[in-house]
Amino acid sequence: MKKFPILILFLAAISGCTPGTKILEDIQLIQAVGYDEMNGEEFKITAGATYIPPGQNTEPRNLVFTSVGKTTKQIRQQIKTNSAKPIETGRVGVVLFQQEVAKNGIERHIDNYQRDANIGRDIHLVTTQGSTEEILRTRYTEGDSVSQHIIDVVDQNMDHTIPDSNLHDFLSQYYAKGYDPFMPYVSKDEDQLKVLGVALYKKDKLVDTLSLKESYILKLLYEPIRKGQFETEWKDGRYISTENLHSHTDYKIKKERGRYHVQLTIHYNGEVSESGGMDLTKEKNIKKMEREVSKAIEKKAQKLVEKFIALGVDPIGLGERARQQKLYDKNWEENYADLSVDVKSKVKITQGGIIE
Amino acid sequence: MYPLPKEDKQVSPYFVFYLIHSMQVGVGILGFERIIAQSARQNAWIAVIIAGIIMIGLVFLSYRILNRGKNDIVAIHHDVFGKWIGGMFSLYFILYYAILVLVILRTYEEVIQVWVFPDVGAWVFLLIILLIAYYYVIGGFRVVTGISFLGVIYGLPLLLVMYFPLKNGHLGNLLPLFDVTFRELYEATKGMTLNFLGFEVLFMFYPFIKKATKSEKWAYFAVIFSTFIYLVTLLVTFVYFSQEQLKTTIWATLSLWKIVDLTIIERFEYVGICIWFFVILPNICIGLWCASRGMHRLFSIRQKTSLRFICLLVLLSALFFRDRQLVDTLNDIVSQIGLYTIYFYIPFLYVVQMIMKRWKKT
């Protein structure tokens, strides 16, 4: 019992040092952040949050805070002045960049997110056409919060149409020598949020955007996939559509007389989902279809990779793959512009559907 | 002069596995990737294996020394070098154990401060952790052994969450294999040594092991298991991060946990840091126990008194290292000291002890 007073003394001394408690009902969790360009120096931040009014069966309400300033933390400080509750950023799930902001470089904004221990790594970065404030102010669905809706739309598209990307992937590609990052590219159309394609970056600056069709080719080249539709013109304006069962791409890089050569082979296993009026019972027709699809993929992929080279960006990581084959050196960047590319594809199609 | 402990204070031979393994895997694993990747890039994993093999060699030497001396390092020093010079070397070892505790404590405290509680003063956590450690160490060696056993068990589930970064990773990051020069590998192996430091506690608790000569194989298992843990962590980190990104990441293993996405836990790294406390605690306990035991043997004072003295010493010096730069410097210095201790002093002691033994016989 002699030690009891000492124990009390310690408890009293330490209790003064406990950090401030954070009770969920008493803080404002920010779920989405948007960056809009104001003028060269300043930009506007829009923070999207949800407020659930007390009571039973209440609908969550959409809250939006905006402020203008020069650094993210500074603006966050200002945003706090219009909020009734302290702002917490631990639950940010999506960060939107207006394309004008993206063109000027987003490094200074991204730095804030990679430095902050409070921010997760699987959050989405998105480039938008049009004001992010408007996107965050619109209520798209009744049930979900706006930020959750944005995340869901982007996630769903990453499964089917555009290549996978999150903060970690962006940073990983941003820092890597033989890679350039990309983001989903969205816009608001009437009262709907729409994914337009992919925004291509050179280092931290927006360079160009890809359409949805091009994005799917990028997805084919970038990662192994198991989903998505690929459409091919048959003849006389008739189209066939195939469902991607699984696909992956092999890269071979050679250096001949100081010139780099890339050989891409796309392996594509598909299933017919729209036959365009073709008789699929004939072996010959299936073979022909494989040839057509293969030709179409080759043509589109070739065009896309050449576009990347012309733009000087490398979202599929040709440089990284060269490094893996010990071919990446100083000359790579200089010679990137006259890289020669050859795309081959091996298509295997099985007849699909429940009718013949 | 240096009596051996009674049997009711000893532990079974297989506990050597937990004691050594828990001492080797500590705070270093949270950020070691960056340091060794700086020199050997994607092939740094080779350095981990090499360092592991060297450690096995050093544990072998340590057991030869201890089996010959049949007592702890203080007694061996006394036998080999005499009272004064031997005493100096023993004092060096006591300070070495204390400084290991200091590094572990201060580095872990930095993690807490940066990741979890930026607004709480450093001394609060230093004090709390030291009080907890003091409470265990005062219970004696068996309690310390128990806590190190629990530390290993609590830490193991963290290996499972490696699944998430692997899912997000690119295996190609590990290519090209074996593209590394001897010099780079040497640097990386040197950098890896700091992480394997800690098996030297063996020199102090050796007399507390029942049938101590039989415990040798468990020490090897411990080193092999530590190597395995480091290897898995390193490979997963390399697959997940690009090399350039890794250079900017101070705590790569902690950042790995950021991608973990469980249904009920959104941000796993906070859970990870808390679980990691149970991995850090045995480190601090074993270190404190060794340092205080050494003082008790050397100066013939009560272990309780020496423990209090060392706790106070560690606390005061930990307060001195205020910011990142100083903690980094501390880590560098200790890594140098540790390097010389294990690579030069252990073989030196082995040779001198052998000569003395022969000389005394004739």
Set out the domains of chain B in order of their start, with CATH numbers: 13-361 (1.20.1740.10)
Instruction: List CB contacts (< 8 A) between A177 and chain B.
Output: 244
On whether the CB atoms of residues B65 and B349 are closer than 8 A, the answer is: yes
Query: What local confidence, expressed as pLDDT, does residue A17 receive?
Result: 63
Helix/strand/coil for A131: coil
Query: What local confidence, expressed as pLDDT, does residue A236 receive?
Result: 67
B108 burial level (CB within 10 Å; 0-12, 13-18, 19+): buried
Q: How many CB pairs under 8 A join A and B?
A: 63
The single-letter DSSP state of residue A91 is: T
Q: Cα-flanking dihedrals φ and ψ of residue A243, to 5°? A: -95, 130
On whether the CB atoms of residues A268 and A346 are closer than 8 A, the answer is: yes
Structure tokens given for A48: 């999207």
The secondary structure of chain A in percent helix, strand, coil, rounded to multiples of 5, reads 35, 35, 30
User: DSSP states of B288-348 as a string?
Assistant: HHHHHHHHHHHH---HHHHHHHHHHHHHHHHHH--SHHHHHHHHHHHHHHHHHIIIIIHHH
Query: What local confidence, expressed as pLDDT, does residue B58 receive?
Result: 92
Q: Is A324 on the interface with B (CB under 8 A)?
A: yes
For the segment B1-22, what is each residue's pLDDT rounded down to a tens digit? 677 888 888 899 999 999 999 9
> In this predicted structure, which of A54-63, B208-217, B227-236, B316-325 has the lowest mean pLDDT?
A54-63
Instruction: List CB contacts (< 8 A) between B115 and chain A.
Output: 117
CB atoms closer than 10 angstroms to residue B243: 19
On whether the CB atoms of residues A217 and A304 are closer than 8 A, the answer is: yes
Q: For the whole model, what pTM was predicted? A: 0.87
On whether the CB atoms of residues B147 and B281 are closer than 8 A, the answer is: yes
Nearest CA in chain A to B43: A324
CB atoms closer than 10 angstroms to residue A249: 19
Query: What local confidence, expressed as pLDDT, does residue B144 receive?
Result: 93
Cα–Cα distance measured from residue B49 to residue A153, given in angstroms and rounded to the nearest whole number: 45
Cis before B282? omega within 30: no
Average of per-residue pLDDT values in chain B: 88
Cα–Cα distance measured from residue B151 to residue B104, given in angstroms and rounded to the nearest whole number: 15
- Residues 6 or more apart whose Cβ sits within 8 Å of residue A12: none
Cα–Cα distance measured from residue B312 to residue B319, given in angstroms and rounded to the nearest whole number: 11
CB-closest option in A19, A171, A321 to B119: A19
Dihedral of alpha carbons A156, A159, A160, A166, sign: positive
Cα–Cα distance measured from residue A32 to residue A50, given in angstroms and rounded to the nearest whole number: 10
Q: Is A120 on the interface with B (CB under 8 A)?
A: yes
CA-to-CA dists, residue B50 to B188, B195, B306, B356, angstroms? 10, 13, 38, 32
- Taking only the tens of pLDDT, chain A with its 356 residues reads 567 777 777 777 666 666 667 777 778 888 888 888 887 778 888 888 887 777 777 777 788 888 888 877 777 778 777 777 877 777 888 999 998 888 888 888 888 888 887 888 888 999 999 888 888 888 887 777 888 888 889 888 888 888 888 888 898 889 888 889 999 999 988 888 889 999 999 888 999 999 988 888 888 888 888 888 887 777 667 787 888 888 888 888 888 777 888 888 988 888 887 777 777 777 787 888 888 888 888 888 899 998 998 888 888 888 888 888 887 777 787 778 888 888 888 888 876 667 66
On whether the CB atoms of residues B86 and B80 are closer than 8 A, the answer is: yes
CB-closest option in B242, B244, B261 to A122: B261
Helix/strand/coil for B62: helix
User: Comparing C-alpha atoms, which of A216, A87, A214, A79 is closest to residue A160?
Assistant: A216
Instruction: List CB contacts (< 8 A) between A121 and chain B.
Output: 255, 258-259
CB-closest option in A17, A179, A325 to B124: A17
Half-sphere exposure for B249 (CA within 13 Å, toward CB): 31
For the segment B107-136, what is each residue's pLDDT rounded down to a tens digit? 898 888 888 888 888 888 898 899 999 999
Instruction: List CB contacts (< 8 A) between A326 and chain B.
Output: 176, 179
Asked whether the beta carbons of residue B267 and residue A120 sit closer than 8 angstroms, the reply is yes
Query: What local confidence, expressed as pLDDT, does residue A240 receive?
Result: 79
Does B265 score more than 60 pLDDT?
yes
Q: Cα-flanking dihedrals φ and ψ of residue A98, to 5°? A: -65, 145
Q: Is B176 on the interface with A (CB under 8 A)?
A: yes
Instruction: List CB contacts (< 8 A) between A16 and chain B.
Output: none
Asked whether the beta carbons of residue A176 and residue B179 sit closer than 8 angstroms, the reply is no
Asked whether the beta carbons of residue B176 and residue A168 sit closer than 8 angstroms, the reply is no
Cα–Cα distance measured from residue A159 to residue A165, given in angstroms and rounded to the nearest whole number: 11
Does B150 score more than 90 pLDDT?
yes
Structure tokens given for B294: 């050494």
Asked whether the beta carbons of residue B117 and residue A19 sit closer than 8 angstroms, the reply is yes
* Alpha carbon of B124: minimum distance to chain A alpha carbons (Å): 7
On whether the CB atoms of residues A306 and A236 are closer than 8 A, the answer is: no
On whether the CB atoms of residues A60 and A25 are closer than 8 A, the answer is: no
Q: Is A176 on the interface with B (CB under 8 A)?
A: yes
Asked whether the beta carbons of residue A175 and residue B115 sit closer than 8 angstroms, the reply is no
Query: What local confidence, expressed as pLDDT, does residue B179 receive?
Result: 78
Query: What local confidence, expressed as pLDDT, does residue A91 receive?
Result: 81
Cα–Cα distance measured from residue B194 to residue B333, given in angstroms and rounded to the nearest whole number: 10
Apex CA B294: angle with CA B292 and CA B295, to 5°?
Answer: 65
- Residues 6 or more apart whose Cβ sits within 8 Å of residue A74: none
* Alpha carbon of B115: minimum distance to chain A alpha carbons (Å): 6
Half-sphere exposure for A256 (CA within 13 Å, toward CB): 8
Cα–Cα distance measured from residue A71 to residue B83, given in angstroms and rounded to the nearest whole number: 65
Cα–Cα distance measured from residue A314 to residue A321, given in angstroms and rounded to the nearest whole number: 11
User: DSSP states of A3-70 as a string?
Assistant: THHHHHHHHHHHHTTPPPP--GGGSEEEEEEEEEE-SSS-EEEEEEEEE--SSTTPPPEEEEEEEEES
Asked whether the beta carbons of residue B115 and residue A320 sit closer than 8 angstroms, the reply is no
Span between the terminal Cα atoms of chain A, in Å:
88
CA-to-CA dists, residue A349 to A231, A246, A293, A326, angstroms? 13, 11, 9, 36
Q: Is A326 on the interface with B (CB under 8 A)?
A: yes
